[in-house]
């Protein structure tokens, strides 16, 4: 079992580095039921960043192998939320369902780490899917921040930076600092897709601060990561926008 655990840990780290296909292939080389769960988790992550096909089928296979365990429920909720993000769908019923899934997980999940991620995504759905729930989202993000491990913290700080930079009563200097902290943590954790996403946001900050050349350099570096990993969707579109508006 130790060998299985170590191999699945390696597959998860491949996924964190944006090598989702390699991580899934590693899982598929194993007979353990847990391998199907990890493969589904990686597929859901890949959909977020690269629009991967076959996620629903991977989730079905994992459910057949291990049932609707907490991590399966989280991956399913994340995938369904990802569909709303990538399609731009803001149907009120679907938005309420997305928020409700994460709220339920935040109440019911036994594992502290996974519960923290569920609470984070609950806050993010409040921020992204609704126009009038930003204060609730910010309060929950601040609470999650208190106990977040470095990888989760990188996500929390990214969104708190947004509140400082975009909110009506934010501190722009603090927001920029939080954005850089998030980027540093993502690099330290080996989270390359998230690094590209945060570099895009830092490029936007540079551009707004009157440094188009600096913004372009950062965006070009982020785009190189996107190309390497096959990333698409909103992050890639935002990078294209920065490059188009900072052309020499």
Summarised one tens digit per residue, pLDDT across range 153-165 is 999 999 999 999 9
Q: Residue 176 has which token pair?
A: 């920029």
- Whole-structure pTM value: 0.95
Q: Could you tell me the maximum CA-CA distance found in the chain, to the nearest angstrom?
A: 57
The answer to whether the CB of 205 falls within 8 A of the CB of 165 is yes
For residue 25, is it within any domain? yes
User: Average per-residue pLDDT in the chain?
Assistant: 96
Residue 80 has what pLDDT? 98
Is the pLDDT at 134 greater than 60, yes or no? yes
Same domain? 62 vs 93: no
Query: 61: which residues sit within 8 A by CB, 6+ positions away?
Result: 36, 39, 40
Among the candidates 39, 67, 95, a domain finishes at: 67
In angstroms, rounded to a whole number, what is the distance separating the alpha carbons of residues 211 and 217? Answer: 10
Query: 227: which residues sit within 8 A by CB, 6+ positions away?
Result: none
For residue 159, is it within any domain? no
The answer to whether the CB of 114 falls within 8 A of the CB of 74 is yes
Among the candidates 84, 113, 147, a domain finishes at: 147
For the chain, list the strands marked E by DSSP: none
Same domain? 1 vs 52: yes
Q: How many domains does the chain have?
A: 3
In angstroms, rounded to a whole number, what is the distance separating the alpha carbons of residues 94 and 230? Answer: 28
Same domain? 77 vs 47: no
Same domain? 63 vs 75: no
Same domain? 77 vs 60: no
Among the candidates 14, 48, 67, a domain finishes at: 67
In angstroms, rounded to a whole number, what is the distance separating the alpha carbons of residues 29 and 39? Answer: 11
Residue 2 has what pLDDT? 62
The answer to whether the CB of 156 falls within 8 A of the CB of 166 is no
Of the two residues 203 and 167, the one the predictor is more confident about is 203
Q: Which residue has the tokens 């920029």?
A: 176
Is the pLDDT at 1 greater than 50, yes or no? no
The whole domain housing 186 covers: 165-248
Percent of the chain at pLDDT exceeding 70 = 99
For residue 158, is it within any domain? no
For residue 37, is it within any domain? yes
In angstroms, rounded to a whole number, what is the distance separating the alpha carbons of residues 162 and 86? Answer: 20
- Stated as kind and residue range, the H or E segment containing 81 is helix 70-87
In angstroms, rounded to a whole number, what is the distance separating the alpha carbons of residues 154 and 36? Answer: 27
For residue 101, is it within any domain? yes
Kindly list the distances between the CA atom of residue 43 and the CA atoms of 27, 57, 187, in Å, as whole numbers in the listed order.
11, 10, 22
């Amino acid at each position: 079992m130790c060998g299985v655990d170590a191999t699945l840990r390696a597959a998860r780290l491949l996924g964190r580095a944006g090598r989702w296909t390699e991580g899934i292939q590693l899982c598929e080389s194993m007979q353990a039921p847990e391998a199907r769960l990890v493969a589904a988790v990686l597929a859901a992550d890949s959909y977020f960043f690269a629009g991967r096909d076959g996620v629903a089928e991977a989730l079905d296979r994992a459910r057949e192998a291990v049932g609707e365990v907490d991590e399966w429920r989280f991956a399913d909720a994340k995938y369904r939320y990802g569909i709303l993000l990538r399609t731009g769908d803001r149907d009120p019923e679907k938005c309420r369902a997305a928020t409700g899934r994460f709220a339920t997980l935040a109440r019911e999940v036994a594992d502290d780490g996974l519960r923290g991620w569920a609470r984070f995504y609950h806050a993010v759905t409040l921020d992204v899917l609704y126009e009038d729930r930003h204060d609730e989202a910010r309060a929950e993000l601040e609470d999650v921040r208190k106990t977040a491990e470095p990888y989760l913290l990188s996500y929390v700080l990214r969104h708190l930076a947004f509140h400082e930079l975009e909110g009506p009563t934010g501190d722009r200097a603090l927001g920029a600092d939080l954005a850089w902290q998030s980027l540093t943590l993502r690099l330290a954790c080996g989270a390359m897709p998230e690094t590209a996403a945060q570099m895009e946001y830092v490029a936007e900050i540079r551009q707004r601060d009157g440094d188009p050349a600096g913004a372009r350099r950062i965006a070009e570096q982020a785009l190189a990561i996107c190309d390497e990993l096959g990333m698409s969707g909103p992050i890639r579109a935002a990078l294209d926008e920065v490059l188009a508006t900072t052309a020499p």
